[in-house]
């Protein structure tokens, strides 16, 4: 059992790696009523091309299969899994995003029994032709629910404008057509490849005992024959260049929505370097576009943007992008103004005193985030798969210098790597 401590924020994380290859992390939270556990695999919608375990040739899977698998794992041969969790008073859920699939529960009671259930169900897939068919109807409704969401559409259109080949362009849930081609055989192939303990992590947070947690997991986990360390994921080359500059669609919505995307070419970073780049870029976006910026206030006063305006950067090893998001009656004018802003010199638009102010803001925001068990758990897993432990976050923040900001601004925010996506009302 090992411990990582950060006394500045008054938190610690205990961890252990089991013989199966599974790593368990635990953050004690004395005094909190809720206990939370998340069991994640480093497998998401972008992992659509891989060599299945035990095979030689690569397999390109139908769009939406990681998400489909997430739904199916809740199926049990005997009793409804939901009912088992409910009887323990635990609230269970799951989600799939671009990079990971996570199965989680929260509860105020019966934590260890629920943990046993979590480990067992994620490790025992039960797939039949019949239950695969049945799920297609449900997921079709989920897809259609998202199809009616202009916020979701303007986002995905922006991704498609930026990326030429990269599987981030694919709808996480797939399409009604693509999910119809999913079979139980394909699901098992994906499962057996990616749901391997060494590709997964278990994170737990609450007022609990780590010894007991380890005991429960050891006795519940499946005994795997082989420790598969290296999963071969295949990525087609993604060019630096954007796909298309502009994409526009109409949907039932009141005000036009827009997403401005800046495609990142500073890739292949992991761990602290990736987190640092992430933070630097987000600090720039804060300085340029947050409510405490000149730009935001000018455009707001002119009625060009509403308080639903913001920006963030997100990136992983093989992709990254900054997004400037909002709603406006004149989205193209907002876009022009953003371009004029990034044309300027860094020293002019990113002032040192503002930089220091934003650093203070981030410090407070991070501390407040630590109040929320869900915030910690979700961010822990996300950062862990990037080889980074959340406790070190503030240390990286302290390291960032004003020059880092200037350099990144020059390289990442250019007219060459920018796209515009708009959804207009019908």
Partner 1 sequence: MDLKVDKIKLGNGINLNLIYTDKFKSNLLSYYIVRPLNREDVTKNALLPLVLKRGNQKLNTTLEVEQKLDELYGSNLSLTVNKRGEKHVIRFTLEWADGSYFNDDSYNLKTIDLLNDIVFNPYLENDSFSKEYVRQEKENLKDRIEGKINSKRSYAVDRCIEEMCKSEAFSLYSFGYVEDLPSIDEKNLYEHYKNVINNSPIEIIYVGKYDEKLISHIKESNKMNRQNIIHLSREKIDYDIEEVNVVRERLDVNQGKLVLGYRTGIPFEENLYNGLLIASDILGGGPNSKLFRHVREENSLAYYIGSMVIKYKSILLIDGGIEFENYDKTTKIINEQIEKMRNGDFSDDDIEISKKAIKASTESIKDSTYLISEFFFSQQLSNDFRSLEEVLNDIDNVNREDIIEASRHIALDTIYFMSK
Contacting partner 1 within 138-177 (CB under 8 A): 138-139, 141-142, 144-145, 147-151
Answer yes or no whether residue 268 interacts with partner 1 by CB under 8 A.
Answer: no
> Distance (Å, rounded) from C-alpha 313 to C-alpha 276?
12
From 55, 63, 70, 348, the catalytic residue: 70
DSSP labels, 267-304:
----HHHHHHHHHHHHHHHHHHHSTTSHHHHHHHHTTS
Q: What is the per-residue binding string for partner 1 in 310-349, x denoting contact by CB under 8 A?
A: -----------------x----------------------
CB of 184 or CB of 361, closer to partner 1: 361
Tokens found for residue 416: 């060459």
d(CA 117, CA 219) in angstroms, rounded, equals 11
**Should residue 234 be labelled a site residue for partner 1 when binding is judged by CB under 8 A?**
no
Nearest-5° Cα angle at 261, 364 to 414:
95
Q: How far is the CB of 368 from partner 1 (least distance, A)?
A: 5
Q: Say whether 221 is catalytic.
A: no
Q: Which is nearer to partner 1, 91 or 414 (CB)?
A: 91
Residues 113-132 contacting partner 1, CB under 8 A: none
Contact 281, 266 (CB under 8 A): no
User: How far is the C-alpha of 161 from the C-alpha of 250, rounded, in Å?
Assistant: 16
Q: Contacting partner 1 (CB under 8 A), which of 3, 124, 209, 307? A: 307
Closer CB to partner 1, 320 or 326, in the complex: 326
Query: Could you give phi then psi for residue 250, rounded to 5 degrees?
Result: -115, 140
For 32, 377, 378, the CA distances from 29, given in Å and listed in that order, are 6, 12, 16
Closest-CA residue to 200 (of 51, 419, 41): 41
Site string for partner 1, 370-409 (x = CB under 8 A): xxxx------------------------------------
Residues within the interface to partner 1 (CB under 8 A): 9-10, 30-34, 80, 82-83, 85-92, 106-109, 134-139, 141-142, 144-145, 147-151, 251-255, 290-292, 294, 297, 300-301, 303, 306-307, 327, 357-358, 360-365, 367-368, 370-373, 426
Catalytic residues: 70
């Amino acid at each position: 059992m090992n411990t990582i401590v950060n006394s500045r924020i008054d938190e610690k994380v205990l961890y252990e790696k089991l013989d199966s290859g599974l790593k368990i992390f635990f953050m004690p939270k004395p005094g909190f009523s809720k206990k939370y556990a998340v069991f994640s695999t480093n497998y998401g919608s972008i992992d659509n091309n891989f060599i299945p375990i035990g095979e030689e040739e690569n397999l390109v899977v139908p769009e939406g299969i990681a998400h489909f698998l997430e739904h199916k794992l809740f199926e049990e041969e005997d009793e409804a899994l939901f009912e088992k969790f409910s009887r323990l008073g635990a609230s269970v859920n799951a989600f799939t995003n671009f990079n990971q699939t996570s199965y989680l529960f929260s509860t105020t009671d019966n934590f260890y029994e629920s943990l046993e259930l979590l480990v067992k169900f994620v490790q025992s897939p039960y797939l039949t032709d019949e239950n695969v068919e049945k799920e297609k109807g449900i997921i079709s409704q989920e897809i259609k629910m998202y199809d009616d969401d202009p916020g979701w559409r303007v986002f995905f259109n922006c991704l498609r404008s930026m990326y030429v080949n990269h599987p981030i362009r694919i709808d996480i849930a797939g399409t009604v057509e693509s999910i119809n081609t999913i079979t139980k055989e394909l699901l098992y192939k994906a499962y057996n490849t990616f749901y391997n303990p060494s590709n997964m992590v278990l994170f737990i947070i609450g007022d609990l005992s780590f010894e007991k947690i380890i005991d429960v997991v050891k006795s519940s986990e499946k005994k795997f024959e082989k420790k598969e360390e290296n999963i071969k994921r295949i990525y087609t080359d993604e060019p630096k260049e954007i796909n298309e500059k502009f994409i526009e669609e109409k949907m039932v919505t009141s005000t036009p929505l827009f997403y401005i995307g800046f495609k990142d070419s500073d890739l292949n970073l992991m761990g602290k370097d990736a987190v640092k780049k992430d933070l630097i870029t987000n600090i720039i976006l804060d300085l340029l576009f947050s409510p405490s910026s000149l730009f935001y206030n000018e455009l707001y006063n002119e009625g060009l943007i509403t308080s639903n305006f913001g920006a963030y950067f997100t990136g992983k090893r093989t992709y990254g992008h900054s997004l400037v998001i909002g709603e406006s009656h004149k989205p193209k004018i907002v876009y022009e103004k953003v371009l004029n802003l990034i044309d300027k010199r860094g020293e002019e638009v990113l002032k040192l005193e503002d930089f220091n102010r934003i650093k203070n803001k981030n410090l407070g925001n991070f501390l407040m985030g630590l109040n929320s068990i869900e915030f910690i758990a979700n961010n822990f897993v996300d950062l862990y798969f990037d080889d980074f432990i959340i406790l070190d976050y503030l240390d990286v923040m302290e390291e960032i210098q004003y020059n880092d900001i200037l350099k990144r601004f020059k390289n990442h925010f250019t007219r060459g790597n920018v796209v515009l996506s708009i959804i207009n009302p019908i």
